[in-house]
Chains A and B, each alone.
Chain A
């Protein structure tokens, strides 16, 4: 293609983060172009569950950011033409032993102090909320603000809305180089031609490291594989999103809540379950480092299935129809990487959201719009700076 394209802002990546950034930028009247190497939601946003889990966030800036994001969500959803199947259902985190319950209690106190409502349930209260839970479960932490959403519909909804406001979305377009002169982004070279732009947002998820190389910046994002089982569609059986305390241990790297079993630790196994609007139950999950390999493995599928039965015994009678794996854009401390890059004016990062991209998309999109258009943000984003790693 010989056309010379140009755009006020170029967003690299058509996942949930790129779509959210486009949505907020278009709201402010910016001229936006999304370049996506494959298709919308081809990466982590299209291969994950729909958990919007607040209680699994790290206490501090991570949780604060999440609360801001969740506050934006209803407004966005109202605005979309596609129903993203948002369901403010609340979330249960189950403890399989007294030690775990003690940990959950201690953590609940801190989480409450940080502004998130959370309640510790004994076996009796839990039974009322989740009647068919295993007898081995000693209690749970219940977070009423936890919710679920269809990540694919959510992403597509925001992308379409942005498109309606003038955003261009170029699919099957791979970024090959980024031209920087006089310390400023000038041009993005892609397989669909050159795009003149002075502002580029990197929302490339697991591809961010490659993008960083083009401007000689090390963006420490690597793929972390998560495997999920999908059951047949059934009548409503699960009213809340449910996880095990070990899921929190694995996700937030809390020693006290890590699984005891060696294989489970190696797989990064943690129980999660949610029933989607279509009726399928998604059962997770693992956290593994296997490069860009997206295959599901018999070992993990076996471990996920076995683990799930420990929490919800009735689940064993369901048919599993599919499995899938997605690659989270993992950052070394699990927190997103957001903000400008030293020495390259006009280049902004919105990546490394690890397993929290869906949950943090709304606020990330808003912050990117502020940063790109005003040069400053309404919330302090220094905890998410690239330079915290140095």
Chain B
């Protein structure tokens, strides 16, 4: 989805990326959120009309450090680097899964909807050793895809039937939603009672994913468990509504006072 950050700034990113990595911002949500601006030591990211404005990038001063990519809670910032030439580009994306993707391996670049774009080699993995932190993956793809890549998938994952969702076979119980202290056994109990046919309803009643982290940790378990346990004919796979402010923000900042 092309954002309000505008095609002009993307053109600039495209042009400058022959000199090295530049941030590509695909943020179109007018929500109070500014970690990217805070993270940028170069002062290249500016929210021109307040905290709710989508950020704009000065490609001239951007040094491609990638801090904004790692910090963006919406995973809406990427790096594009065309300096390697020969019709190839390296695209860096945020990545929060822990699976078989590794340096030097082949993976698939996908767009914002998860559609396959191109196959490429992973040329850089950073942040893998720090649990809880967003990893950055860099994938090398033909440069015509450089502005379209939004994610990376392991090849094996894509080859699997998308309907096949593996549930966790719990041996021991654990608090899967740590914010609201909801046990995994409790979640399964709620799902298998069959009261809820959509994820938003499950979340509403179980309160899983409604705590401080707003589901950043538990959402994927919630989803896969729901798909695994809730009979297909009864369910509606409607995704969660992501609501501002996405990441906790002091009320005083939301109210426009300095915090």
A46 to B241 CA separation, bound complex (whole angstroms): 14
The answer to whether B31 and A320 have CB atoms under 8 Å apart is no
* In the complex, chain A residues whose CB is within 8 Å of the CB of B214: 321-322
The yes or no answer to A252 lying at the interface (CB within 8 A) is no
Q: Which one of B204, B236, B255 contacts A302 once the chains associate, using CB atoms below 8 Å? A: B255
A interface, over-half SS: mixed
With A278-B180, A316-B259, A324-B243 as contacts: A40 and B251 at CB distance below 8 Å: no
B256 cross-chain contacts in A, Cβ below 8 A? 302, 305-306
Given contacts A42-B201, A152-B204, contact A316 B251 (CB under 8 A): yes
A320 touches B243 (CB 8 A): no
How many A-B contacts at CB < 8 Å in the complex? 103
A358 CB to closest chain B CB (Å) equals 15
Closest to B250 in A: A319
Assess whether B244 is in contact with A323, with CB atoms less than 8 Å apart. yes
The interface residues of chain A lying within 8 Å CB-to-CB of B10 are none
Question: Chain B: how many interface residues by the 8 Å CB criterion?
Answer: 35
- B248, CB-defined interface residue at 8 Å: yes
B161: CB under 8 A from chain A?
A: no
Binds A, one of B75-83, B103-111, B145-153, B205-213: B205-213
Are the CB atoms of A38 and B254 closer together than 8 Å?
no
Interface pair B252/A301, CB less than 8 Å apart: no
Q: Which residues of A contact B196 (CB under 8 A)?
A: 39
Q: Given the known inter-chain contacts A152-B204, A296-B243, please indicate yes or no for A315 contacting B211, CB distance below 8 A.
A: no
Q: Is B188 an interface residue (CB 8 A)?
A: no
Chain B positions within 8 Å of A316 at CB level: 250-252, 255, 257, 259
Q: How far does the Cβ of A287 sit from chain B's closest Cβ, in whole Å?
A: 19
* Smallest beta-carbon distance A170→chain B, Å: 11
Chain A, interface size: which category?
35 or more
List the A side residues contacting B197 at CB < 8 Å.
39, 171-172
Alpha-carbon distance A309/B259, docked complex (angstroms): 12
Quick one: closest A residue to B235, CB to CB?
A172
Q: Mark A7-51, 1 if CB is under 8 A from B, else 0.
A: 000000000000000000000000000000011111000100000
Given known A305-B255, A320-B254, contact A39–B248 (CB-CB < 8 A) = no
Contact of B237 with A by CB under 8 A: no
In chain B between 172 and 198, which residues have their CB closer than 8 angstroms to a CB of chain A?
A: 179-180, 195-198
Question: How many angstroms from the CA of A42 to the CA of B236 in the assembled complex?
Answer: 13
Query: From residue A278, how far is it (CB to closest CB) to chain B in Å?
Result: 7
Using a CB–CB cutoff of 8 Å, the interface residues on chain B facing chain A are 30-32, 52, 179-180, 195-198, 200-201, 204-205, 207, 210-212, 214, 234, 236, 241, 243-245, 248-252, 254-257, 259
Q: A308-B251, A319-B249, A320-B254 are in contact. List 5 more A-B contacts (CB 8 A).
A: A38-B201, A298-B52, A309-B252, A316-B255, A316-B257
List 13 A-B pairs, Cβ < 8 Å. A38-B236, A39-B197, A46-B201, A156-B195, A172-B197, A233-B179, A302-B32, A302-B254, A320-B249, A321-B245, A321-B248, A322-B210, A322-B214
